[in-house]
Amino acid sequence: MFCFQCEQTAKGEGCTKLGVCGKQPDVAALQDLLIYATKGLSQVALAARKAGIKDAKVDRFTCEAIFSTLTNVDFDPQRFVTLIKEAARLRNDLKAKAEKAGAKIAAGGPVTFAPAADLKSLVAQGEAVGIPSAEKLNADIRSLRELLVYGIKGLAAYADHAAILGQEDDAIYQFIYEGMAATLNDALGVNDLVGLALKCGEVNLKAMALLDAGNTGAYGHPVPTAVPLGHKKGKAILVSGHDLKDLDMILQQTQGKGIYVYTHGEMLPTHGYPGLKKYAHFYGHYGTAWQNQAKEFAAFPGAIVMTTNCIQKPKESYQDNIFTTGLVGWPGVNHIATKDFKPAIDKALAMPGFTEDAPGKSVMVGFARNAVLGVADKVIAAVKSKAIRHFFLVGGCDGAKPGRDYYTELVEKIPQDCVVLTLACGKFRFFDKDLGNIGGIPRLLDIGQCNDAHSAIQIAVALAGAFNCGVNDLPLSMILSWYEQKACVILLSLLHLGIKNIRLGPSLPAFISPNVLDVLVKNFNIMPIGTADQDLKAILG
Ligand code: SF4
Ligand code: SF4
């Protein structure tokens, strides 16, 4: 196997024997084959679209299939077998319709490949089309093709989240097909592929805006809310991942059953949504970020539901208590495909739950664009009076590497006259610190999940508008942590917007070649994180 799509890739180079994430070589090969199959499906979809044929089923399937290959989403080989076969079936059906309508589709490669009948042969097919198969390709072209694929993986994830909430835009599907097909086009050079990567970032802004509209349309705008980190005596269900609709369904289905619902990881910000916080049994938050789940889930006395990413190999001690839904999968773990969460509810009722109340401390969430821009006058006045000197956006993914302590140290050392905006699971490095406030404005503002990057961008753009300057001219520094492919596409969105001087850590992506990095540094002055002291000195002087 060879995979280097995420930040924790082995030795900073690539996972070759087993994924650091737990991905087995057979699953790595099946994921590569599924990506190959979606490239063929994309080529056919583009030709069909030119002939006037669009297929909503193919659009949705393509996003789901690509999303399944994101880091820490699906580890179940059988699910990939089904997806690969479905990709080929949908491709053949669409090809026949398109050709009937006059489309000319060149045969060969992923347009005509036929999935093998058995698992072993499918794995061999996947091994033949994985990253090593492009070894002879120019290193920069290979790097940019992978960057584009990983950007599209993040984009497909956000498009899928939005579509679940009824928000779709055909321009997103069109770009996914164009982008995936472009990675097979030998005529495209470095400049073309850089352009496509930035276009991916641009299209992702649409997807993130749709997701924001889906979440706020269904559940209202988040409002500042104190979330208990303790627990209540009683039966318990823990919901992790990012999917608000799954959480809503679990809250509905547990009503009146004597079960308290808790969030884990990226679900924390959901406590700020009026349409979710209305449930009296939606109690509080348990634990921290995804990489701590083995320890935290083992100690949770109730059922656990994983929506979307990020799952790790369950320990034996809680293997029977954990359930997956949507695109998440782990072999041997109970999967709830129908959104009838009865198996998880029954498990929670059969388990002891918490035996006593433990109120604990609380953290504030709900500072998404509506809440922050609602007090924009106060914020602008504080900047003008120099009560606020600087904003730091410290956001992105968390992970297991020791170098991620940088983010904790940085936030601890940021001076008292500065405000920290945060989003995504990287916040768990400092989310429970009391940073106080500046004239009533909290110094730590949690904008939401990684899925709420749209909100962060809207806040930055509105501040730039208020100060009549560009985002790069604001007293704002972006210090980001990345882990997986949603973070890749958010970075591409920021680069598309022309945002410069981003500090990125804890390490730079292994799939970026030295020349491609050079292009990013020259055009955007993107830089690796240093030490907290060095970076604060460089930013604040
Ligand atoms: S997703 Fe990351 S950890 Fe998993 S195999 Fe790929 S590079 Fe390795
Ligand atoms: S921010 Fe990224 S790493 Fe963190 S839970 Fe969300 S998808 Fe996973």
Give the span between the Cα atoms of 321 and 336, in whole angstroms: 13
**Do 192 and 252 belong together in one domain?**
no
Residue 425 CA: which ligand 2 atom is closest?
A: 4
**Displacement of CA 345 from its chain's centroid (Å):** 27
pLDDT score recorded for residue 533: 98
Two structure tokens written together for 330 = 């782990």
Are residue 334 and residue 404 in the same domain, yes or no? no
pLDDT of res. 532: 98
Mean pLDDT of 452-460: 95
Closest to 493 measured CA to CA, from 256, 284, 190, 205: 205
User: What is the number of domains present in the chain?
Assistant: 3
pLDDT computed for residue 309 by the predictor: 83
pLDDT at 87 over 90: yes
**Domain range for 469:** 370-540
Task: Name every protein residue with a CB atom under 6 angstroms from any ligand 1 atom.
Answer: 3-6, 8-9, 15, 19-21, 23, 71
Could you give the angle at the alpha carbon of 413 between the alpha carbons of 428 and 459, nearest 5°? 60
Q: Are residues 91 and 70 in the same domain?
A: yes
Domain match, 91 and 183 both: yes
Asked, for residue 27, whether it belongs to a domain, the answer is yes
Distance from residue 161's CA to the centre of ligand 2 (Å): 14
Confidence of residue 401 (pLDDT cuts 50, 70, 90): confident
In the reported structure, the alpha carbon of residue 529 is separated from the centroid of ligand 1 by a whole-number distance in angstroms of: 22
Q: Which ligand is nearest to the CA of 509?
A: 1
- Kindly give, in sequence order, each residue whose CB lies less than 8 Å from that of residue 230, ignoring residues fewer than 6 positions away: 284, 357, 358, 359, 360, 361
Which candidate, 395, 368, 451, 396, places its Cα nearest to that of 165? 451
What's the confidence (pLDDT) of residue 402?
84
DSSP structure string for 206-243? HHHHHHHHHHHHHH-----EEEESSB-SBEEEEEESS-
pLDDT tens column, 344-381: 999 999 999 999 999 899 999 999 999 999 999 999 99
Q: Going by C-beta distance under 8 Å and a sequence separation of 6 or more, which residues neighbour residue 534?
A: none
User: Does 358 fall in a domain?
Assistant: no
Ligand 2 pocket at CB < 6 A: 265-266, 290, 309-310, 397-398, 424-425, 450, 483-484, 486
Does pLDDT of 267 surpass 90? yes
Per-residue pLDDT tens digits for 126-158: 999 999 998 889 999 999 999 999 999 999 999
User: Among residues 167, 185, 217, which one ends one of the domains?
Assistant: 217
pLDDT at 502: 97
CA 143 to ligand 1 center in whole angstroms: 16
| Secondary structure E strands in 251-389 | 259-263, 282-285, 303-306, 322-325, 334-336, 362-365
309 and 433 belong to one structural domain:
no
Ligand 2 center to residue 266 CA distance, Å? 7
Separation CA 389–CA 148 (nearest Å): 37
Rounded Cα distance, 503 and 426, in Å: 14
pTM: 0.98
401 shares its domain with 530: yes
Q: 309, 337, 302, 297: which is closest to 450 by C-alpha?
A: 309
For residue 34, what pLDDT band results from cuts at 50, 70 and 90? very high
Residue with CA at minimum distance from ligand 1 atom 2: 6
In a domain, 482, yes or no: yes
Ligand 1 centroid distance, CA of 483 (Å):
10
Q: pLDDT tens-digit profile of 511-529? A: 999 999 999 999 999 999 9
Residue with CA nearest ligand 1 atom 6: 3
153 occurs within a structural domain: yes
What atom in ligand 1 is closest to the CA of residue 3? 6
Find the ligand nearest to 2 CA.
1
Any domain includes 363: no
Q: Are residues 342 and 488 in the same domain?
A: no
* Distance between Cα 484 and ligand 1 center (Å): 9
Domain end marker among 156, 190, 217: 217
CA separation for the pair 87, 67 (Å, rounded):
14
Average pLDDT over residues 431-448: 97
Instruction: Say how many Å lie between the CA of residue 300 and the centre of ligand 2.
Output: 21
Average of pLDDT values for 64-89?
A: 98
| CA–CA dist 236, 232 (Å, integer) | 9
Are 152 and 58 found together in one domain? yes
How many A from CA of 292 to the centre of ligand 2?
Answer: 12
Look at residue 2 and tell me if it is in a domain: no
Please give the share of the chain, as a percent, with pLDDT higher than 70. Answer: 100
β-pairing, 441-442 vs 437-438, is antiparallel
Sign of the alpha-carbon dihedral angle for 87, 89, 90, 93: positive
- Which atom belonging to ligand 2 lies closest to the Cα atom of 399? 3
Assess whether 436 and 530 both reside in one domain: yes
Please, which residues have CB within 8 angstroms of residue 455's CB and are 6 or more apart in sequence?
212, 368, 369, 423, 447, 448
From CA 141, how far away is CA 188, in angstroms rounded? 9
- Give the ligand 1 atom nearest the CA of 19: 5
State the DSSP string of 401-446.
-GGGHHHHHHHHHS-TTEEEEEESGGGGGTTT----EETTEESEEE
Per the listing, tokens 């770009």 go with 175
Tell me the mean pLDDT in the region 278-305: 97
Most informative mutation of 2, 7, 15 for ligand 1 (most atoms within 8 A of CB): 15
Compute how many other C-beta atoms are within 10 angstroms of the C-beta atom of residue 499. Answer: 19
Q: Confidence class of residue 430 from pLDDT cuts 50, 70 and 90?
A: very high
**350 contact partners, CB below 8 Å, separation of at least 6:** none
Read off the pLDDT band of 245 (50, 70, 90): very high
The span from the CA of 325 to the CA of 299, in Å, is: 22
**Residue 175 CB-half CA count within 13 A:** 25
Of the residues 163, 192, 217, the one at which a domain ends: 217
Residues 380 and 483 in one domain: yes
Q: Whose CA is nearest to atom 3 of ligand 2?
A: 397
Task: State pLDDT tens for residues 497-510.
Answer: 999 999 999 999 99
> What is the Å distance from ligand 1's center to 8 Cα?
7
In this prediction, residues 338-349 reach a mean pLDDT of 98
**Which ligand 2 atom sits nearest the alpha carbon of residue 308?**
7
Strands (E), 424-501: 437-438, 441-442, 444-448, 476-481
CATH code at 182?
A: 1.20.1270.20
The mean pLDDT of 285-306, rounded to a whole number, is 97
C-alpha distance from residue 319 to each of 68, 305, 315, 483 (Å)? 21, 12, 6, 25
pLDDT at 54: 98
pLDDT at 79 over 90: yes
Q: Domain containing 266 — which CATH number?
A: 3.40.50.2030
Nearest CA, atom 5, ligand 1: 19
**Residue 222: cis peptide before it, omega within 30 degrees of 0:** no
- Centre of ligand 2 to C-alpha 138, Å, is 31
**In-domain check, residue 274:** yes
| Distance separating alpha carbons of residues 541 and 525, to the nearest angstrom | 18
Q: Which of 185, 168, 143, 147 is nearest to 42 (CA)?
A: 185
* Whether pLDDT at 440 is above 90: yes
432 and 481 housed in the same domain: yes
Is 447 inside a domain boundary?
Answer: yes
Task: Check whether residue 502 and residue 380 sit in a common domain.
Answer: yes
